[in-house]
Structure 1
Amino acid sequence: MARPSKVGICKGAAMAGASFFDITIQGKGSHAAMPHQSRDPLVIASDLVGSLQTILSRNIAPLDTCVLSVTQIHSGSAYNVVPDSASLAGTIRYFKDEVCQLAETRMRELCAGFATAYGVTINIDLRNIFDVLMNDADLSDAYMEAAADIVGRENISGTDEPATGSEDFADMLKVVPGAYCRIGHSGTTGLHNPSFFLDPEVLPVGASVMARIVERRLAN
């Protein structure tokens, strides 16, 4: 017999909000043998990636959670040419709106400063994609009570840690109070990986928990 799934939930701020960003550096290209004639966007982009991380270490309070990840850098197409432009892209994750606002403000200021310092044009596009996912405390308890009926009380946890991943269910929870739980399964590889495996045995568990919530609440 398969081991029962673990069901967990985090009350309150359970998953991070997320902003995505695109940064375009318009420099000046040249022959790679004469880089002094360029305003090399690759050098600028490399410096900017490092400077963006100082937002976390020197602007965000140590007890506030914020993640700033540059996940893309694109530039150039030849061995012997300094390109004329470069682009960066990435994401900010946060649990407080004011932390995100501070990070975005500092990103804009750094981009403006780099543009002046290097004599280039830098454009930044910042956009909020996901809000912070807020689990209602009472409905979280109701979720765990229903889950205990399905997997056993020893296999539930109402004190899971927040996750810095993001989820668009957060938008629904801003309109209608609810809760978002996690169900464990036998896969060992995380999301966004080609080796990720979703154990089909957890599907009946999730469906049963949802059905049990309906049964419990209709009974009241």
Structure 2
Amino acid sequence: MFDLNNFNQESASLIQELQKHVGEITAIRRFFHQHPELSRQEFKTADKIAALLESWNIKVTRNIGGTGLVGVITKGLSSKMIGIRADMDALPIDEATHKDYASVNQGVMHACGHDGHMAMLLLAAKYLSLEATFDGSIVLIFQPDEEDDAGARRMIEDGLFDKFPVDCVFGMHNYPNAPIGQVMISHGPQMAGTIGLEITVTGLGCHAAHAYNGIDSILVAAHIVVGLQTIVARNLPAQDAGVITIASIHAGKANNVIPQSVEMIGTIRYFDPKTAAIMEEKVKSVAQGIAAAFGASADVRLKHGYIATVNHTEQADFCIKTAQKLLKPEAICLTKKPSMGAEDFAFMLAAKPGCYLFIGNGPGDGGCTLHNPAFDFNDANILVGGAFWTQLTLDYLA
């Protein structure tokens, strides 16, 4: 549990007001957990959110980027506008939490905590709409398809920031193996950019007992896998982060046939686009050079995916000030290291100034880690995360 003494005394009245709604929002979070929906299929989830927002007198716009929706709360006369985003989709995983609110949709579960992300924002939304006083607008962004195909980008392409021209935008993700409720904020890169990697190695198939009559595509592929691992170590400065991973290799069907070709797939991860460009060029030259040395060929195909998630300094500083107003120092971490995982909130940060932060979900014991069948969002974070979003909004729209 989160120790309520970690809230600063000056935030006591806000916490008391929010606590009145925590029971209701916790039940809603567990409803989302019990009824998860995959990317681009968040129909009932969006219906539930829209009904809740409208019941709290919040204007709702549906079907942005597919199943995405936006709620807007406006008070006073100011043109200032802040955006806060929560993702909605679940994962294709069979749940093994054995909770009484476990998923009833076989093969689908909220194994990344998006049910909790929605709940934190809904707690803030209810209080801000029905009880708070501020001057300006808050745009509540409920985004589909984070897990699969960049729903954030699709919402932007569908006019999200044209229809709702926010000054800045913020997002939050739970973080297992960090103390419950610890708010984690840092400057610069937070999550990596991604490039999909496919390599087809073509040799000359032959009988496995007479390898000298062919060109062994599997041997060539093995040398390429090893060669690719020299790129980061020998072509990037030590302070520049990069990852090149071959994650799957497929070739052949018989134990006495050297196959004509090998298919390999993998990923490239980076924070700096300049680093990405170096790795892209070297992957091609290393793979093709090694293949040529054996008399084989290598067809290298690269597909850019998510861009890097990079916080803006001014908005990160603003989040830090809000956290320090709300929480005691022991409940704040300002030294979190960036992750080579990927996050489509990057596209929102590329379009608008903002900050992506994290909230500790507690120990990862028993598999309570992201994308694991035993994962569950920690309900104690509904109050902490909801309070943070509320205070951030009140600070910005003061």
**TM-score, with structure 2 as normaliser:** 0.51
Counting only pairs closer than 5 Å after superposition, residues 55-70 of structure 1 correspond to structure 2 as 55-70=231-246
Query: Is the contact made by 1:187 and 1:196 (CA closer than 8 Å) also made in structure 2?
Result: no
Residue identity over aligned pairs, in percent, reads 33
Give the letter for the 1:129 counterpart. Answer: G
In the other structure, the counterpart of 1:216 is 395
In the other structure, the counterpart of 1:18 is 194
Are 1:32 and 2:211 counterparts?
A: no
Give the letter for the 1:167 counterpart. Answer: E
Counting only pairs closer than 5 Å after superposition, residues 169-208 of structure 1 correspond to structure 2 as 169-188=345-364, 189=367, 190-208=369-387
**Superposition RMSD in Å:** 2.0
Query: Is the contact made by 1:187 and 1:199 (CA closer than 8 Å) also made in structure 2?
Result: no
| Greater Cα shift, 142-151 or 9-18 | 142-151
In the other structure, the counterpart of 2:257 is 81
Query: Is the contact made by 2:217 and 2:260 (CA closer than 8 Å) also made in structure 1?
Result: yes
In the other structure, the counterpart of 1:114 is 290
**Residue 197 of structure 1: how far off its partner (Å):** 3.8
In the other structure, the counterpart of 2:127 is none
In the other structure, the counterpart of 2:270 is 94
**Residue 95 of structure 1: how far off its partner (Å):** 1.9
Query: Is the contact made by 2:224 and 2:291 (CA closer than 8 Å) also made in structure 1?
Result: no
Among 155, 162, 183, the residue aligned to 2:331 = 155
Describe the shift of the 1:11–1:75 C-alpha distance in structure 2 as closer, same or farther (beyond 3 A). same
**Residue 204 of structure 1: how far off its partner (Å):** 4.0
| Greater Cα shift, 145-154 or 104-113 | 145-154
**Residue 65 of structure 1: how far off its partner (Å):** 1.3
Number of residue pairs matched?
219
Tell me the distance in 2 between the aligned counterparts of 1:85 and 1:9.
Answer: 47
**Residue 80 of structure 1: how far off its partner (Å):** 2.2
Tell me the distance in 2 between the aligned counterparts of 1:38 and 1:195.
Answer: 48
Tell me the distance in 2 between the aligned counterparts of 1:34 and 1:194.
Answer: 47
Give the letter for the 1:136 counterpart. Answer: H
Partner SS state of residue 335, structure 2? coil
| Greater Cα shift, 60-69 or 184-193 | 184-193
Are 1:130 and 2:306 counterparts?
A: yes
Query: Is the contact made by 2:220 and 2:296 (CA closer than 8 Å) also made in structure 1?
Result: no
Partner SS state of residue 22, structure 1? strand
The higher relative CO (CA closer than 8 Å, separation ≥ 6) is in 1
Give the letter for the 2:317 counterpart. Answer: D
Q: Deviations over 1:99-148 (max 9, x none)?
A: 11111111111122123212223111112212221111221122233334
Partner SS state of residue 213, structure 1? helix
Partner SS state of residue 70, structure 1? strand
Describe the shift of the 1:47–1:209 C-alpha distance in structure 2 as closer, same or farther (beyond 3 A). same
**Residue 23 of structure 1: how far off its partner (Å):** 0.6
